[in-house]
Amino acid sequence: MLSKLVVIGVGLIGGSFALDLKRAGLVGQVVGVGRSPENLARAMQLKVIDLAEQDAATAVRDADLVLLATPVGQMDAVLARIAPALPRHTLVTDAGSTKRDVAALYRKHLGDSLDRCLPAHPIAGSDLSGAAAARYGLYEGRKVVLCPLPETSADTLARISALWQACSAHLVVLDAAEHDAVFAAVSHMPHLLAFAYMNTVLNRPDADTCLALAASGFRDFSRIAGSHPEMWRDIALANRDGLLEDLRAYRAELDSLIAQLQQADADGMTAKFERASQARSAWGKG
């Protein structure tokens, strides 16, 4: 039971975490912190939070747990602001999309008390954002990746794990570097590929006709190209080295396919398409 949970960044991720813990009776008061007074007012109105606070340092006084649920690009400033005000007993976790950089920020700002810090990444993204997107049950059956620091205490890991389990999430423990490599491949790279695809279509003189006739294949393939530009720029920059390696590997695969098509190499194309299709179909059934 937490007497006071502070959620910094009250959107889909942070708001849904608060809602589930409230419903489970695991938290007394939820204090929301954010830069937008309108979003905080909406969060109050929707009972996602009990109290709104503009200043993170003020909010974290007496907190049992602080969840950093802002974009990763804001976490340096947030940690700098709250570090001097954090009570010694307060646990700190986050929901950042990249983990090596966030781990480094804990080390920078809370280096003398890393035992109470747990970098984490709930896998529950959406096109939706803001407090109005928060909902009960968002994490049901979803994975939450925990990337404990060498210094994270077993008690911190156990207590935060219990909260995510109360949200019906499945926990996965990974090293931060392993996390970043995996999510470069299955999340960050496809976002960049989708942005590039959308711009390729927009560059065409017949772009309007293309968009008018685009159907379900286009819809799904390009969906993540509608994602938040600044958020994905920050993620891409935060995970730059791994992502560059992946994009180059993709380009090599694309070049090989272009060469096959150029040569009308039907067998080579069939082999490539079959490998992809079988694996994707198996994944869909898994």
Q: Minimum distance between the CB of residue 263 and a copy of itself, rounded to whole angstroms?
A: 10
Nearest to 151 by CA among 177, 122, 124, 119: 119
Residue 175 binding a copy of itself, by CB under 8 A = no
Asked whether position 272 contacts a copy of itself by CB under 8 A, the answer is yes
Question: Structure tokens of 277?
Answer: 């299709």
Q: Contact between 192 and a copy of itself (CB under 8 A)? A: yes
141 sits near a copy of itself (criterion: CB under 8 A): no
**With CB under 8 A as the contact rule, which of the stretches 51-59, 79-87, 155-163, 268-276 interacts with a copy of itself?**
268-276
How many residues interact with a copy of itself (rule CB under 8 A)?
90
Nearest CB to a copy of itself, comparing residues 61 and 143: 143
Cβ contacts of residue 188 below 8 Å, gap of 6+? 97, 232, 235, 236, 239, 243, 246
Binds a copy of itself (CB under 8 A): choice among 132, 149, 172, 173: 172
Residues within window 14-73 making contact with a copy of itself, judged by CB under 8 A: none
Site for a copy of itself in 229-248 (CB under 8 A): 229-230, 232-233, 236-237, 240, 243-244, 246-248
246: nearest Cα among 197, 186, 185: 185
**Residue 138 engages a copy of itself in binding (rule: CB under 8 A):** no
User: Rule CB under 8 A: is residue 214 a binding residue for a copy of itself?
Assistant: yes
- Cα 278 from Cα 21, distance rounded (Å): 40
Instruction: Please identify, among the stretches 39-47, 78-86, 133-141, 261-269, the one whose residues bind a copy of itself according to the rule CB under 8 A.
Output: 261-269
Q: Quick one: 53 or 180, whose CB is closer to a copy of itself?
A: 180
